[in-house]
Chain A
Amino acid sequence: MLQIIKNEYRFLVRSRIFLGISIAFISILILAIFLGNYQTQKQEQTHKNAKDHVRQQWVSIDEMNPHSAAHYGTYVFKPANLLSSLDEGVNSVTGNVLRVEGHVQNEIIHSEASQMQAVSRFGKLKPSLLLQYIVPLLLIFLAFSSVSNEKQSGRLKLLVLQGAKPLQIILSKTLSVWLYGILLLTIVLSVYSILNYQSLTAEILTRTGLFFLSYTLYYFIISAITVFFSARWQNATLALTSMLGIWIIWTIFLPNILMSSAEKWHPLPSRNKFQSAMQEDRSKGLDGHNPADERGIALKENVLKEYGVDSLSQLPINFDGMRMQADEEYGNSVWDKHFGNNRKILREQKQSFQLGGIVNPFISLQNTSMGFMASDNLHHQEFLLQVENYRRVFIKMLNDKQTFGGSKTGNWGWKEDNAFFKSVPDFDYKPTQISNVFSNYVLDLGLLLLWSILVIVLVIFGTKKIKIG
């Protein structure tokens, strides 16, 4: 078997076309990594400038009423991710700017895609674009005539007469094509690692390792099916056209159709319906800005009772801050319900889409690729959750200051000094660890593995029916 693989490579290296295509393609791959890295660095710089600017504004507040500061709020910008230089995932279509303020959980806005006219339907020149769409085609081109040529030239018969089993021949051919794919993948990850060696962590290595694994499985599926077709069909053209058909259906047709269908099976509410429903639920709760609000009055009675006083002016604290926080906590339960419902629907959509991997391993590859590169919707949602958790801590700090900072109820002119605003921590994004989300990708990896096993079974049983001469 090893001898057949070695022979395959000898033949390939002798082909000038193959060498030319390989060198050109590897150059494009390396260029894609460079450009991807450079873009991430530029985006990181833009992000840092914006973050520093907004933080500077916050820590420069001389004096302000804490609740006014809650309305002044702050902004969180979606950070650029080093891994996204390999696969950008959803980053160009999700928003980048999220306003953090009192009373409301905002949505992230200002996506890159909305800032210009259409350019590329399949995204930027990232390694993932080449690895997902182009490399499989290269493998198909390498493999479609690998056995049929041997048949036509009569070498296959000769190999069998020399003692090689047809299964061995097909597996060897598959492995030689597959190894070419792995070589390209290794080049990508090696160049990426060299460029980012200072930032490599165990987390990044684990993620890139899993990224590598999912691509190797997919490349094996593609290589084995093509070699099998090459052996099974009478001529190479039929093998090539069949595989091109499969490639088109797997990569262009099905992902689009299945994702659209998943969205139809589990529909999300329209923005207006979503906001109206939240508004309605919100109106059932306490209105922090309205002293005449019934629920606010009930809270006041409780607080007066608790402190054993008759009026707000006798309270040692500022009841306005307390009412604001009660309003905030009610609001949080409303946001949890509605945003939580949207997250649940998105999860259901994703699960349905993942099942598409049963008929299309490319779907599993796409899911794992962007998932392991931390650029899929799951990671985006994790980021949004972190921002919302920060918002809650941020607003509570301001409301607590209003309540217990020494002012009296109704004293809206009371202001806190700069030291306090400096003490309010900035948002610190903690990248999601793969160990926490790995379970979400087990199905995708499992389906890729299952496909690989099925393809091996197909090769083993299908080889028996192949005509040698």
Chain B
Amino acid sequence: MRSLNIFLYEWKHLVRSPFKIVALLLFILASVYGLHNGADLYNKQNTEIERLNEKEQKEKETILTYFDKGEKGPEKRPWVDVTTPFWSIWYTPTYHFKKPSPTIVYNIGQTEQYGFYKKIDMYSSPYDADMAKEIANPERIQSGTLDFAFVVIFLMPLLLLVLLYNIKGQEAEQGFLPLIFVQTGSKNWWILSRTLFYTMLLLVVLFALLLYGALLTKIFESENAFLPIFMYTAIYLIFWVVVYFLILKYGKSIISNTLQMIGIWLLFAFIIPATIHQWISIEKPTNLMVDLIDIKRDKTDEIYEQQNIDIDKQLFNLYPSLKQTKIAQDTVAIMEARKRSRVALINVAMKNGISRLEEDNSIKNNLISKTYWLNPVTYFQNKLNHSTNTHYYDYQTYRNDIQVLVDKRIEIMVLDIWNDVKVDKAKYLEYNEVFSKN
């Protein structure tokens, strides 16, 4: 009953405070804007994926006409022969996508740092130039998109500050704090109840906003991520409520409380993450990919210059069944097969280089994770990134999937070349089906 009275008083206080109402409305407005930004990105990526699927389909149809007409390939490229495994697989268009999760509506995360589609061929690697992010204004990327997560992580603590800043301080300044303590019985309970009122108000607002976001990308139809995301935002809200509550409990005036609250916010939102970012950059400077460059050029040249016997040894090691093939016994045909198969050895070298690179990145990520205990804002940001499949590791999984598809493509190509497979329309369609699956 006592709490209900405090809640009712607080409600009256809120509706009579235009500053707090405006702040709340601005927060809701920014959240809706952020949700629409997320939904726009979701739709934009899906439209692009659809367009690329259509493009892939058209490319496939063009190749199928060669089979129907009994042609070997494009008229202007007389050296192409789609009835051979190499050229047939070369002309099997495969795009691999990182399909956006509907939860991207809440959090764009690191989406804009990476590409989300990749055309795969035998020479592809997850670190190709076309894996770069979409073309965008770097100044916009640097300032970041105002998404819902940004509103929650950075603006919600400020809204909470606006809602709570004068609790106790105002009464203390007006001199009737002792009277309130006498009436309510407990100082802590009174501050806590007032704080809880705003906490509950914000929880309701957040829930409503999350629901609104869910309608924009139909989250409930495909994923079970709504509740975990709500849970993270609620925990994050409670974290700030606790911090501010302690300031209010021990604070003496509105101004001193406000300054302390904004100081803590600056510390957690700006100073600590920025210092950690700077430290990581000093500990592990940006990788300029020299290892991969060496593999792409020198290692590749080295593989092309190796003796046939060495190449065969490595290929037989990689694909033991090659030894028994017809081509392996044919001293003339083996030359072309060997030439086409060298890409498998380059792929192995690239994979080794990439794994060193990913290891290097993993060290950076571990360093960041180790600072979470003092860096809650980054912790929650990355938690949200995980929940919305927009984290670094989600893109690493995407890169790994690409590597699996490249491996599969090369393996099938090498085996079919060495087994002297003749490609017809059915086989070409089979390639298309097999290569599009992870």
Interface residues of A, Cβ cutoff 8 Å to B: 28, 32, 35-36, 38-39, 42-43, 46-47, 49-50, 53-54, 57, 72-73, 75, 77, 89-90, 92-97, 99, 106-107, 109-126, 129, 133-134, 137, 141, 145, 236-237, 240-241, 244-245, 248, 252-253, 255-257, 259-260, 262-263, 268-272, 274-276, 287, 290, 292-293, 342, 346, 349-350, 353, 366, 370, 376-377, 380
Q: Which of A46, A73, A237 contacts B285 (CB 8 A)?
A: A46
Question: 10 A-B pairs, CB-CB below 8 angstroms?
Answer: A93-B138, A110-B127, A111-B113, A125-B278, A126-B278, A134-B271, A248-B158, A268-B135, A268-B137, A350-B137
| Docked pose: A38 CA to B392 CA in angstroms | 27
Which segment of B175-183, B209-217, B251-259 sits at the interface?
Answer: B251-259
Question: Is A122 a contact of B48 with CB atoms below 8 Å?
Answer: no
B166 and A237 within 8 A (CB) = yes
Instruction: Return chain A residues, CB-CB under 8 Å to B207.
Output: none
Residues of B within 8 A of A119 (CB): 273, 276-277, 280, 368, 378
Quick check: is B262 within 8 A (CB to CB) of the other chain? yes
Q: In whole Å, how far is B272's beta carbon from the nearest beta carbon of chain A?
A: 9
Q: Given that A54-B293, A109-B132 are known contacts, is A122 also in contact with B273, CB under 8 Å in the complex?
A: yes
Q: Which of A115, A134, A349 contacts B137 (CB 8 A)?
A: A349
Q: For B19, B271, B369, B381, which residue has the most chain A Cβ atoms within 10 angstroms? A: B271
Identify A96's interface contact among B133, B279, B286, CB under 8 A.
Answer: B286
Partner of A90, one of B138, B150, B286, B393: B138
Bound: A38/B279 CA distance, A? 10
Ranked 4 nearest A-B pairs via Cβ = A120-B273, A90-B138, A256-B146, A125-B274
B153 CB contacts on chain A under 8 angstroms: 121
> A145, B392: Cβ atoms under 8 Å?
no
CA distance A449 to B23 in the complex (A): 30
State which of B23, B136, B278, B290 has its C-beta within 8 Å of the C-beta of A36: B278
Answer yes or no: B37 CB below 8 A from chain A CBs. yes
A89 touches B142 (CB 8 A): yes
Q: Hey, which chain A residues are within 8 Å of B115, CB to CB?
A: 271
Q: CB distance B278 to A116 under 8 Å?
A: no
Tell me the minimal C-beta distance from A259 to chain B in angstroms.
4
Set of chain A residues within 8 Å of B12, measured between Cβ atoms: none
Among A94, A244, A260, A268, which residue has the most Cβ atoms of chain B within 10 A?
Answer: A260
- Beta-carbon nearest neighbor of B138 in chain A: A90
Alpha-carbon gap, A237 to B269, bound state (A): 23
Within the complex, the shortest CB–CB distance from A110 to chain B, in Å, comes to 5
Q: Which residues on A sit within 8 Å (CB–CB) of B117? A: 272
CB pair B270–A129 under 8 Å, yes or no, is yes
* Interface check B7, CB cutoff 8 A: no
Q: What residues of chain B have their CB less than 8 Å away from a CB belonging to chain A?
A: 19, 23, 26, 30, 33, 37, 48, 51-52, 55, 76-78, 109-110, 113-115, 117, 127, 129-146, 150, 153-155, 158, 162, 165-166, 254-255, 258-259, 262, 266, 269-271, 273-282, 285-290, 293, 297-298, 301, 360-361, 364-365, 368-369, 378, 381-382, 385, 391-393
- Known contacts: A72-B297, A134-B270. The answer to whether A90 contacts B280 by CB under 8 A is no
List chain B residues, Cβ under 8 A from A366: 143
Q: Which residues of A contact B52 (CB under 8 A)?
A: 272
- A90-B138, A114-B133 provided; 20 other pairs, C-beta below 8 A? A35-B278, A89-B139, A93-B138, A107-B132, A116-B365, A117-B385, A118-B378, A119-B368, A120-B378, A121-B154, A122-B274, A253-B30, A270-B134, A271-B132, A271-B135, A293-B76, A346-B137, A353-B139, A377-B137, A380-B138
* Contact indicator A96/B274 (Cβ below 8 Å): no
Give which listed residue, B132, B135, B289, contacts A269 with CB less than 8 A.
Answer: B135
Partner of A124, one of B114, B136, B278, B285: B278
- Is A124 within 8 A of B281, CB to CB? yes
CB distance from A64 to the nearest CB of B (A): 10
Q: Is A121 within 8 A of B137, CB to CB? A: no
Smallest CB–CB gap between B406 and chain A, Å? 18
Neighbouring B residues of A32 by C-beta, 8 Å: 278
With A113-B113, A272-B117 given, is the CB distance from A90 to B142 under 8 Å? Answer: yes
Residues of B near A245 (CB, < 8 A) are 19, 23
Q: Are A260 and B145 in contact (CB under 8 A)?
A: yes
Given contacts A133-B270, A377-B138, contact A259 B278 (CB under 8 A): no
Closest residue on chain A to residue B274 by CB atoms: A125
Contact status B255-A252, CB under 8 Å: no
Q: Report yes or no: B129 in contact with A109, Cβ–Cβ below 8 A.
A: yes
* Complex interface: chain A residues within 8 A of B139 (CB): 89-90, 259, 350, 353, 370, 376-377
Shortest Cβ distance from B361 into A: residue? A115
Tell me how far the C-beta of B431 lies from the nearest C-beta in chain A, rounded to whole angstroms: 22
- Is B286 a contact partner of A115 (Cβ separation < 8 A)? yes
B378 to chain A, nearest CB (A): 6
Q: Judging by beta carbons under 8 Å apart, are B255 and A236 in contact?
A: yes
Give every chain A residue within 8 A of B270 (Cβ-Cβ).
120, 122, 129, 133-134
A115 neighbours in B (Cβ, 8 Å): 286-287, 360-361, 364
A141's closest neighbor in chain B, by CB?
Answer: B259
For A134, the chain B residues whose CB sits under 8 A away are: 266, 270-271
Q: Are A116 and B364 in contact (CB under 8 A)?
A: yes
Kindly list chain B residues whose C-beta atoms are within 8 Å of the C-beta of A124. Answer: 274, 277-278, 281
Cβ contact within 8 Å between B282 and A39: yes
* Inter-chain contact B288/A116, CB cutoff 8 Å: no
Q: Give the distance in Å from the alpha carbon of A97 to the alpha carbon of B132 in the complex.
A: 11
Residue of A nearest to B170 (CB): A237
Alpha-carbon separation in the docked complex, A46 to B368 (Å): 21
* B134/A120 in contact, CB under 8 A: no
**Which residues of A are found within 8 Å of B273, using beta-carbon distances?**
119-122
Contact in complex: B136, A42 (CB < 8 Å): no
What is the bound-complex CA distance between A145 and B276, given in angstroms? 34
Known: A110-B288, A268-B136. A117 touches B274 (CB 8 A): no
Q: How far is the CA of A89 from the CA of B115 in the complex (A)?
A: 22
Q: A137-B266, A271-B130 are in contact. Are A257 and B33 (CB under 8 A)?
A: yes
CA separation between A370 and B139, bound complex, in Å? 10
Q: In the assembled complex, how far is the CB of residue B294 from the closest CB belonging to chain A, in whole angstroms?
A: 8
B276 touching A120, Cβ below 8 Å:
yes
- Residue on B with the closest CB to A116? B364
B259 touches A117 (CB 8 A): no
Q: Name the residue on B nearest A376 (C-beta).
A: B139
Bound Cα distance from A50 to B258, whole angstroms: 49
CB neighbours of B109 from chain A (8 A) = 118
B393 x A117 contact (CB < 8 A):
yes
Bound together, the chains give a CA A35 to CA B280 distance in angstroms of 11
Task: Determine the chain B residues whose CB is within 8 A of the CB of A248 once the complex forms.
Answer: 155, 158
Q: Return chain B residues, CB-CB under 8 Å to A36.
A: 278
- Given the known inter-chain contacts A28-B271, A53-B290, A256-B150, please indicate yes or no for A93 contacting B280, CB distance below 8 A: no
Smallest Cβ distance from B190 to chain A, in angstroms? 21
CA distance A114 to B270 in the complex (A): 20
| B290 engages A112 (CB within 8 Å) | no
Which residue of chain B lies nearest to A257 when distances are taken between CB atoms in the complex?
B146
Q: Quote the shortest CB–CB distance from A228 to chain B (angstroms).
A: 18
B59 CB, min distance to chain A CBs, angstroms: 11
